[in-house]
Amino acid sequence: MTKVTIKDVAREAGVSISTVSNALNDVDVVNAETKGRVLDAAKRLKYIPNLNGKNLKIRKTKTIGFYTQSIEGFYYGMVADAISKACEMRGYELVIHVTVDKKRVIRSILGHNEDGVIIIYEDLDNELYDSIKEYGIPVVFLEREICSEKISSVSFDSYGAGKVAARCLIDAGRKRIGYVRGVVGSYDDDERFRGFIDEIRNSDAVYDKSADIIGWFEERKSYNVVTEYLRNTPDDKYVDAFFAANDTSAIGCINAIMDFGLNVPEDISVVGCDGIDLTKFVKPVVTTVKNPIDDQGRTAVELLIDLIDEVGLGMSVKLPVKLERGESV
């Protein structure tokens, strides 16, 4: 593969490289006939511009980077897809970087000159945050509430989600409610729990501390830990409802309860959180608090482009949640 460059095209078309550049970039200064020759030559040679050369000059790449530690599972997949669609709509390229190594993240962010980046990390550390802030590159954080001059964020109202989940259980007449945590200490988990607790305090239901268990946002782990709970608890002490920190753990929770020989929602009701498609594939269909993932992706891209185009300062937007009724409550 002998790379064909702008020089080759110039030679082939019998013009200078400046003219090739102008012709190819539709700078309307070049003679129509000349332009035709250049375009022909480029096509004949199958010329593809080297983006490195271009970007080195331009300093605008029309690309957005998305940084995540994983793209496995329903949730990240949906987020990435929403972002990718929004980018396409706005004429930006999206490139997704899957890394856990924070050093690489910042090298990559600063070194690739993407116009801006969208970041989602469960455990965003301050070092990364400070570096990013310092370099002043436009960024929007997902699932976080922070902003500064060049930083925006979009989160959904996790605290509100906790409240909605609790309220739905309370309204269904549930009295003793447990919580299947996600990743302890993560922002989402904390917020959901806070909202959940606050809502319960305003009701005649109680939060059962003995049913505060950790499911790590995963189906299998939640399954195991709920099974363990049921085994180790006298059956007259069972909670009559669980709030699970996300949908996959809600499904693990439901499966554990049913495999143990109890019924959902009759014996124990379960409400999840996120509203991924998966909730509709299983039986019973999971009642869940819908996280508007598509909106989140779209909003993130809009906010980022505003930052890139320097219209206004960074801002933090919080998206509302909605209960999605299934059969598990």
Interacting residues toward a second copy by CB under 8 A: 1, 46, 48-53, 55-56, 70-74, 76-78, 80-81, 84, 88, 93-99, 101, 104, 106-108, 110-113, 131, 134-137, 219, 248, 251-252, 255, 258, 277-278, 280-283
Angle at which helices 102-111 and 126-135 cross, to 10°: 10
Task: Report the candidate in 193, 260, 272, 189 with the shortest Cα–Cα distance to residue 228.
Answer: 260
What DSSP character marks residue 148? B
Lay out the site mask for DNA across 57-96 (x = CB under 7 A, - = otherwise).
xx--------------------------------------
CB of 104 to a second copy, least distance (A): 7
- 41 makes contact with DNA (CB under 7 A): no
Q: Select the span of 55-63, 101-109, 126-134, 294-302 touching DNA (CB under 7 A).
A: 55-63
Q: How far apart are CA 115 and CA 137, in angstroms?
A: 8
Task: Report the candidate in 26, 55, 29 with the shortest Cα–Cα distance to residue 42.
Answer: 26
3-state secondary structure of 209: strand
72 binds, among a second copy, DNA, none (CB under 5 to 8 A by kind): a second copy
16 binds, among DNA, a second copy, none (CB under 5 to 8 A by kind): DNA
- Tell me whether residue 21 or residue 255 sits nearer to a second copy (CB atom): 255
18 binds, among DNA, a second copy, none (CB under 5 to 8 A by kind): DNA
**Quick one: which H or E segment has residue 173?**
none
31 binds, among DNA, a second copy, none (CB under 5 to 8 A by kind): DNA
Tokens representing 237 are 């002490």
Count of residues touching DNA (by CB under 7 A)? 29
Q: How far apart are CA 44 and CA 12, in angstroms?
A: 9
Contact call for residues 212 and 149 (beta carbons, < 8 A): no
